[in-house]
Amino acid sequence: MSTPDFAAYLNMRTTLGANGSGPSIFTPADDALLCLSDITGVAEVWRVPLDFARAAPGWPEQITFRGERSLAASYAPDGTRILVSFDTGGTERTQMALVRPDGTGWTPITPDPTIYYAAPVRSAYGKWSPEGTHILYSSNARDAQSFDLCEMTLADGAERVVLAGDGAHEPLGYSRDDRWILGSRAAGTLHANQLILIDRATGTIRPLTPDPLTHGGRHFDAAFSADNAGLWLLSDRDPASPTPRDIMELAWLDLATGDMRYVTAGTWECERLAVSPDGRRLALVRNVEGYGQITLWEVANGWDARAPLPAPDLPAGVVNDLTWSHDSERLAISYLPVTDTADIWVLDLPTATTLRVTRSAAGGIDRDTLVCPELVHYPTFDGRQIPALLFRPADAPSEPLPVIVYVHGGPESQFRPNLNPVLQYFVARGYAVLAPNVRGSSGYGWAYQSLDDVRLRMDSVNDLAHAARWAKQSGLADPQRIAVMGRSYGGFMVLAAITTYPEIWAAAVDIVGIANFVTFLEQTSVWRRKLREAEYGSLEQDRAFLESISPIHHIDRIAAPLFLSHGRNDPRVPVGETEQIASALQARGIPVEQVIFADEGHGIVKRANQLVVYPAIAAFLDRYLHPANLG
């Protein structure tokens, strides 16, 4: 087998929707839309003309040229300006600027680069008011630990706080008549938030759902109905219990009575909802074993009189974001196929056709050689069946293979079946990749997601060990050639795996991972600590336990060679987590390699840096796993 070129895989481009900005990623005439593409090596804002008469998109035009990542973008209602949210060096200190549609006139509108102008819960970036004179956003200027909901008057840059207090307050948008602001408050937990309605004229605040500190339940993607009489939303709140329901479903909240009722019931969780600008149409995404399933309805006369709408024609994959056009006739879908590049597709309802409006480059890789994963389940210590996605090399020999067990971050996240160029490279190289969704993963309901909370943390590490054991017992893995790899919380899982079950692993790769929960919680961004303690436990009440499970205190058990990488600007997991584990291993003489980037944050996002770190990881794994069939 010839050795594939890692640079080619890393040159696979990605195009995503300018998420977080609502329907105004479309021009007012709906003849073009904004997207985020890393064609230049980092995500910048691009404009893509649309021509459904010719069933073809126009030539894309680059709008931003910072050389740093853009996070979201949206047109002003009159189309004369674009609002861009961005950060620098991976710091996640989101700032905002205005730019003309041709890319000229870049004008920052946030005065303090040390302030975060986007709250962390649902990444709700700046929202335009219907008349285009104001912008709604979050800011932690008043208190570094909390985010207030603020409104800026663009004419003079004046800012007013419309909703303040402990927790993270996020903008959901304006009512169609411009009378109301809809906001969200998350306080002390990522498991619950409260919807709040603010009268723009009087400032009167009306909670629409219970206090999240006393009543659990999430309320996501809320949007006004056509007549402003109620909200469509996704929720898992149980009105009869402070404990959430098992899965999120589509619900209707009556603004006159405050009553909320569920209108759908299914086996798999609803994860995205998009309500059309005129309030007449809904697009709903379910997470079915990790795959995105889109359903659309006409609801102008209410749910009971709903009518189904044509679904988009898409390959298997994952929905990243949904956005309606201004005329509510088209739905832009930011889509991540299993064996193709991430791109934007648009469903045209009048013709019931789906058009791929961007086509990101595949780096010279034949798309037909990309491997689709197999859904498997394996037993763990308590008899539970753990879901996992298994990537087998296309021409895998019958003998056992070198295996990479890849664990996602979060922890409340999920490994999804979308294209991952790094993992596809390793599969092409002759490795099998097993990506488990251990207990605590999202996408399988509240009960499953809660199985690793606080004192149950190490149960998920046990699940990870059983993934490797299953790989051996099934004949997939060579017992002497199993590696574990993960990023962020997945990096903690890597370190926990090689300290708790050192006999299993031949090598390990930790990217921006947690080595010490105490120093992590002490040094992470102050606004993150409160939210993360709901998942991990608090230093005040759980310090002894957190110390007991921190890999840094079990460094003497590590036998596997370890590769470490981090960004020095990481605001989530400080770089000291990597530095302390590297120093401890070097003192013990355990093989350890460390790559730290001065211009990265929580992850390695710049292509120039990816071309350094990932080939180094490949060489590291080749050195210690000696995979078969390499040319």
Give the DSSP H/E element, type plus range, for residue 546: helix 539-549
Q: What is the pLDDT of residue 578?
A: 94
Contacts of 375 (CB under 8 A, 6+ apart): 289, 290, 387, 388, 389, 390
Percentage, residues of the chain above pLDDT 90: 77
The three-state secondary structure class of 428 is helix
The answer to whether residue 534 scores a pLDDT higher than 70 is: yes
* pLDDT tens sequence across 371-409: 999 999 999 999 999 999 999 998 877 779 999 999 999
Q: What is the pLDDT of residues 252-307, one digit of tens each?
A: 999 999 999 999 999 999 999 999 999 999 999 999 999 999 999 999 988 999 99
The tokens for 364 are 């010279």
d(CA 127, CA 174): 8
Distance of CA 290 to the CA centre of its chain: 13
- Positive or negative torsion for Cα 360, 361, 363, 367: positive
CA distance 72 to 86: 7
Q: Is the pLDDT of residue 630 over 60?
A: no
Q: Calculate helix-pair angle for 457-473, 489-500, nearest 10 degrees.
A: 70
**3-state SS string over 28-82?**
CCCCEEEEEECCCCCCEEEEEECCCCCCCCCCCEECCCCCCCEEEEEECCCCCCE
Q: 291: which residues sit within 8 A by CB, 6+ positions away?
A: 316, 317, 318, 416, 417
How many helices and strands in the chain, by DSSP H and E? 10, 36
Q: Quick one: average pLDDT of 342-363?
A: 93
Would you state the pLDDT for residue 537? 83
- Residue range 338-348: mean pLDDT, rounded: 94
User: For residue 527, is pLDDT > 80?
Assistant: no
Q: What is the pLDDT of residue 627?
A: 54
State how far the alpha carbon of 346 is from the alpha carbons of 58, 320, 332, 419, 517, in Å.
Answer: 14, 13, 4, 20, 44
At 406-452, the pLDDT tens digits run 999 988 899 999 999 999 999 999 999 999 999 999 999 999 999 99
Q: How confident is the model at residue 16 (pLDDT cuts 50, 70, 90)?
A: confident
Report how far residue 545's alpha carbon sits from residue 40's, in angstroms, rounded to the nearest whole number. 45
C-alpha distances (whole Å) from 249 to each of 32, 115, 252, 450 are 32, 35, 10, 18
Output the pLDDT for position 532. 78
Measured CA to CA, the distance from residue 507 to residue 592 in angstroms comes to 10
593: tokens are 């390699």
Taking alpha carbons only, the member of 57, 123, 2 closest to residue 343 is 57
Using the predicted structure, report yes or no on whether residue 1 has a pLDDT greater than 80.
no
Given a cut of 70, whether residue 54 has pLDDT beyond it is no
Confidence of residue 48 (pLDDT cuts 50, 70, 90): very high
pLDDT tens for 573-629 read 889 999 999 999 999 999 999 999 999 988 888 889 999 999 999 999 999 997 544
CB 181 within 8 A of CB 165: no
- Sketch out the chain's domains with CATH numbers: 6-356 (2.120.10.30), 371-625 (3.40.50.1820)
pLDDT tens readout for residues 469-482: 999 999 999 999 99
pLDDT digits (tens, 9 = 90+) for 110-156: 989 999 998 766 667 899 999 999 999 999 999 988 899 999 999 99
* Higher pLDDT among residues 492 and 111, named by residue: 492
The tens digit of pLDDT for each residue in 68-94 reads 999 999 999 999 999 999 999 888 889
CB burial of residue 314 (10 Å; 0-12, 13-18, 19+): middle
Distances in Å between the Cα of 534 and the Cα atoms of 85, 387, 608 are 28, 25, 36
Q: What is the pLDDT of residue 629?
A: 42
Per-residue pLDDT at 503 exceeds 70? yes
pLDDT at res. 21: 45
Whole-number mean pLDDT of the chain? 91
Phi/psi for 277 (5° steps) reads -55, -30
Contact assessment for residue 134 and residue 77, using Cβ atoms and an 8 Å cutoff: no
- The gap from C-alpha 563 to its chain's centroid, in whole angstroms, comes to 24
Residue 10: Cβ within 10 Å count = 18
* Distance in angstroms (rounded) separating the CA atoms of residues 279 and 282: 8
Task: Give the pLDDT score at 493.
Answer: 96
- Distance of CA 316 to CAs 289, 397, 575, Å? 12, 27, 37
**Which of 174-178, 220-224, 282-286, 472-476 is predicted with the least confidence, judged by mean pLDDT?**
174-178
Cα 295 to Cα 282: distance, rounded to the nearest angstrom: 8
Q: How much is the pLDDT for 631?
A: 43
